[in-house]
Chain A
Amino acid sequence: MAGDIILTTKGLTKHYGGVHALEDADFEIRSGEHVAIVGDNGAGKSTFVRQITGVEQPTAGEIFFDGKTRHFANPLDARKVGIETVFQNLALADDLDVPANIFLGREEVYFNLGPFSFMNEKKMLAMAEEGLKRTAIKIPNLHNTIGNMSGGQRQCVAISRTVTFASKLIIMDEPTAALGVQETTQVENIIRTLKKQGIPLILISHNLRQVLNLVDKIIVFRRGRIVGALDAKKTDGNEIVSLITGLDTGVHENASYI
């Protein structure tokens, strides 16, 4: 089922001054594979994501993507090679509508005059509709500004932005953390759709039940290190929690976080 390796990191390390947020992370994901990253607050999950998406530059270590060593100077570099990210803070502009947000920073233009290029709004609208259709996302009015939308709709826009550009790898940082039950289901369905389409995904989540339901492989972070790689079909919440906390198995039988 899983194909070629799409992304590998070797010894990826990030220090913020004296704080060792990420230590020596070796990670890989194959095409078509869905991998979850779990861990406690401050375990290094988001730090890891910031390194592989170009938001920050690692202190040490290497990133291989799509067969080549990569150095992402900024998020655009990562996006150019096909890594699309749904950030935790969503990174949407409240005062712009749906197509404007989806195409932010890479607007379709009639002919290139630098910043003074005229935008091809029709093409962007059509492509946005196409992207939304592919993920079965329904948003009543695409010309509504993001600020007027519900949390779930905003999340869907953020996700559809990644899908519109037919990317090679999608990363989602806590996509359902701020959502209600129904909206969470909707986002989970989108993730299942992506799985069917064979688009690889890295999912960062606190919700272990969600993780067990959705992904193939679970990577556990603790104190900036990768402490475990589990097959989602062969593990359970108990084992994951033990790895997250570093405490023995069995302690978490009735814990509410499973």
Chain B
Amino acid sequence: MLFGVAALFEILGWLLIGQSFLFNVKRLPIIILQVSIIGIIAVGVTQVIITSGIDLSSGSVAAMSAMVAASFAQASGGFLMYFDGIADLPVIIPVAMGIIVGCGAGWLNGAITAYTGVPPFIPTLGMLVAARGVAVLYNDGRPIIGLTDSYKFLGSGIVPVIIFIGVALIFHILLTRTVYGRRTYAIGSNEEAARISGININAHKVLVYTIAGGLAGLAGVVMSARATMAQSGMGFMYELDAIAAAVIGGTSLFGGRGRISGTVIGVLILGVITSGFTFLRVDFYYQEIAKGFIILAAVIADQYRHKRTSGGGA
């Protein structure tokens, strides 16, 4: 499908404006760069969806984490210091802070989902609003600027792409080779069976959501490093792109099914679509409409697959 979409834009490119879409030295790296931040979030969201959950909060959590991380990443001599006297910290501290804040938000999502039995849609929707509020409140709506060079390095060049690929690889291995992955699929596939098999469902769900939050936090760090500043409006609607990438990549919203490799392809398809429409000079709003229909098609395909293969179940 990825190649299909890319080939379509290639043909349209030649037909409409007489240029090649793919064979442009500058375009491919840009596509991957653009999607790597969404991609980091999408990896976390994929494992949540595999447990037949959902995380709507990731975009806001990324922004909140970006604000907190950036406040620990300011270089000395700048204006508008968030913390007086805290400057030039080693890069590990802001990165850790961003991830910890993300984990905290994810932990809350997971704990509420697991221990109250509320559908995950609700606590994560609450977190979507609340985390954005925290992001705004953190510096009274002002951006945090003047970041250290070592922090900005995380967003420079192909570093975000390397981080994305690294995250994707680690989670591919986690989901396919470890007990963590086995439990994640089992819970999404048949929660009752997993419970009877002695898996601590609640603890595992909390872990999955916490990790998803941590990845959103990491995405916030990379996002602010790339923008060389953090502001509260960052990552707006990223959660929906991340969910879309997972679903386009074959992760089932019914749970139990999905692969990180699929999500990586899903993210690339989203990137190719955005980039392709821009290349064809299609208006941004038409792009959004097209993207909406593609997500719809992916969800319908998922529904169809689910019906077809779960017929034999008792």
Contacts and interface: CB of A to CB of B under 8 A. Distances in A.
Contacts of B24: none
Given A74-B198, A96-B186, A104-B186, A91 B192 contact: yes
A83 B24 CA distance: 65
A52 B185 CA distance: 28
Contacts of A95: 185, 188-189, 256-257
B178 A115 contact: yes
Range for the number of chain A residues in contact with chain B:
20 to 34
A74 B202 CA distance: 14
Contact of B178 (A105, A116, A147, A150): A116
Given A93-B193, A95-B188, A149-B312, A104 B256 contact: no
A104 B197 contact: yes
A143 B313 CA distance: 17
Contact of B256 (A94, A116, A119): A94
Given A94-B189, A94-B310, A95-B257, A79 B182 contact: no
A52 to B, nearest CB: 14
B199 interface: yes
A93 B181 CA distance: 14
Contact of B314 (A89, A100, A116, A148): A89
A11 interface: no
Contacts of A82: none
Interface in A67-82: 74-76, 79
Contacts of B256: 93-95
Contact of A117 (B178, B190, B195, B197): B178
Interface string A91-135: 111111000100011110100001111110000000000000000
B193 A119 contact: no
A75 B195 CA distance: 8
A116 B207 CA distance: 11
A258 B14 CA distance: 77
B174 A148 contact: no
Contacts of A115: 178-180, 183, 204, 207
Contact of B309 (A79, A93, A106, A148): A148
Contacts of A93: 185-186, 189-190, 193-194, 256
A147 B312 contact: yes
A154 interface: yes
B215 to A, nearest CB: 15
Contacts of B309: 94, 147-148
A91 B196 contact: yes
Contacts of A65: none
B190 A91 contact: yes
A178 interface: yes
A151 interface: yes
A87 to B, nearest CB: 6
A166 B276 CA distance: 59
B178, B204, B256: residue with the most chain A Cβ atoms closer than 10 Å: B178
A94 B185 CA distance: 10
A148 B257 CA distance: 14
Contacts of A92: 190, 193
A55 interface: yes
A92 B310 CA distance: 12
B196 A87 contact: yes
B278 to A, nearest CB: 38
Contacts of A116: 174, 178-180
B197 A109 contact: no
B177 interface: yes
A158 B194 CA distance: 13
A149 B257 CA distance: 17
A75 B192 CA distance: 12
A94 B193 CA distance: 10
A55 B178 contact: no
Most buried by A among B192, B193, B256, B309: B193
Contact of B192 (A76, A89, A100, A106): A89
A116 B211 CA distance: 13
A55 B312 contact: no
Contacts of B314: 89-90, 151, 154, 178
A148 B195 CA distance: 22
Interface of B: 174, 177-180, 182-183, 185-186, 188-190, 192-199, 204, 207, 256-257, 309-310, 312-314
20 contacts: A74-B198, A75-B198, A76-B197, A91-B190, A91-B193, A91-B197, A93-B194, A93-B256, A94-B189, A100-B185, A104-B197, A107-B179, A107-B182, A109-B179, A114-B179, A115-B178, A115-B180, A115-B183, A116-B178, A119-B177
